[in-house]
Chain A
């Protein structure tokens, strides 16, 4: 026994002195993201939706201009024509990506290795959120700008395009990018909270698409008053205001709306963090 203890004391390792630090956890999270083909595929789909749908919607509009329907003519908005469809469909893809980056670890059991390496757990949640948010900002904001410029180029054939310098346009285009990042983070938070892919995706889609529909069954004026407090998904919800050039009669202003969305993200992430600390992995 004594000999064995002595052996431990004498044991020297080239790794003596290594430490887990937050920058290293950030790096580990980047390695994780980078090394999963499915992350890149989902991100690729998101970008393809943002740019592809802008091209499709603007080419289609320019090919049939002016519209026969007078209402359509009046409501035409060249900014939304280019970035709107991509934001609506892209939010589902980026939300799924956020979910999968977390629930994929629970489904495969990887989370056990992850939490054994960083048993304080919370730094993993923070690092993954930071890496995901920065990466999505770096990819999605430029994608939305590309969608905008491509769309305007197609609309210019009928001289119905706008410019980035027109009132509110720059904010709306940038806003669509950060809105998508916000929805991705909402998905990631739901992933941490629910730990199951199907449950988290169903909840996310329910919040973005089903909830606004249900609200419409409420008696007036409830639909407008409730919808503006929903995090996002469709026109009239809080988060969407940041990528609209015109403020709806019942909606929040762009930055207040975005603030409401991010408040939901924060609530979900804080709840997830609290659960992560106390629950068994």
Chain B
């Protein structure tokens, strides 16, 4: 369980995290979603006590991170930025971290096996590919068999096989009753992995809800209709929950009524339809709709 209360971090006059109040619960995968620069990594650093909050607080299992008697046993973290000395072997990297907690070499070897690095365990980390580095980071996160796991953009640098592997790993870890908090800027990845979503933009909380609810709320159900007797049809569908938007070319987009209902209504009044097309917005679009104004840096798309 991670609890943030009014968590705020400023660097100079730039506010990276702005009053986040969120609880991340055990037993589910919580996706932490936001565009680049939304404050996801800073939030992770604040949870781990690497950065001190400007205001507010964050606790893990009820305690500030730096008060935990065995931090690696309570929280395992894979940070986005590399956190390994390139001159050390993978095994020695884990051994050094394990030694501070009295965790033995057998556990280190078991984890190297789990992430598939046994073959290269004694090679210098500097020679590792991005994907291998990511696997070592995951081994480090799991080292203390922690109840809470933080993964900052875990899919970075992994091939499709690796991404599937990490998705299954996250699901398994949460099914074991752990708190799994995983950040991403890719909505579709989150839709496959997460049960719950926390969405941030420019450091502010934009949504905190189950994935299904996010999908339901965020997704538009508009229907594009074209008909020679458009005005008659529009008069028929009018209602308090329905809005109609002309889009030119003799077509309208009707929001608030499913395509089946529109089609049947038209048929029963003998109105011919030239087009009846549901326009479903994807999750990706829902995410962009929500965070569009909050994107820190975005490219102007030429018309």
Contacts and interface: CB of A to CB of B under 8 A. Distances in A.
A117 B72 contact: yes
B110 to A, nearest CB: 11
Interface stretch (A17-25, A205-213, A238-246, A255-263): A17-25
A119 B48 contact: yes
A25 B71 contact: no
The 9 closest A-B pairs by CB, nearest first: A4-B27, A7-B177, A35-B92, A28-B99, A119-B66, A112-B83, A28-B100, A110-B85, A113-B83
A38 B86 CA distance: 11
A27 interface: yes
Contacts of A108: 82, 84-87
A110 B84 contact: yes
Interface string B68-99: 11111101010101111111110011011101
Interface stretch (A8-16, A48-56, A80-88, A182-190): A8-16
Given A117-B72, A120-B66, A37 B101 contact: no
B34 interface: no
Nearest to A11: B177
A138 B212 CA distance: 63
Given A11-B177, A35-B95, A36-B85, A117 B50 contact: no
Contact of B87 (A18, A37, A121, A280): A37
Describe A's contact surface by its main secondary structure. helix
Interface in A87-125: 104-105, 108-121
Interface of B: 1, 25-28, 45, 48-52, 65-66, 68-73, 75, 77, 79, 81-89, 92-93, 95-97, 99-103, 107, 140, 144-145, 147, 176-179
Given A8-B147, A35-B92, A113-B84, A19 B102 contact: yes
Contacts of A8: 1, 26-27, 147, 177-179
The residue in B28, B81, B89, B145 that gathers the most chain A C-beta atoms within 10 A of its C-beta is B145
A5 interface: yes
A20 B95 contact: no
B66 A104 contact: no
A3 B177 CA distance: 9
Given A24-B99, A25-B100, A35-B92, 12 more contacts: A5-B27, A11-B147, A13-B73, A19-B69, A27-B99, A32-B88, A110-B93, A112-B83, A113-B140, A116-B83, A119-B66, A278-B52
Contacts of B83: 109-113, 116
Nearest to A124: B100
A112 B101 contact: no
Contacts of A16: 73
Contact of A116 (B70, B71, B147): B71
Contact of A118 (B71, B77, B103, B140): B71
A231 to B, nearest CB: 29
Classify chain A's interface size: 35 or more
A244 to B, nearest CB: 37
A20 B27 contact: no
A15 to B, nearest CB: 5
A18 B70 CA distance: 6
Contact of B81 (A4, A109, A117, A280): A109
16 contacts: A3-B27, A4-B26, A5-B25, A5-B26, A5-B27, A15-B144, A16-B73, A18-B70, A19-B101, A20-B70, A20-B100, A27-B99, A28-B96, A113-B93, A117-B100, A119-B66
A74 interface: no
A1 interface: yes
Contact of B176 (A11, A30, A37, A119): A11
Nearest to B91: A35
A116 B50 contact: yes
Contacts of A36: 85, 87-88
B28 A4 contact: yes
A99 to B, nearest CB: 15
A116 B144 CA distance: 12
Contact of A32 (B27, B96, B140, B178): B96
Nearest to B175: A7
Contacts of A271: none
Nearest to B107: A15
A214 interface: no
A31 interface: yes
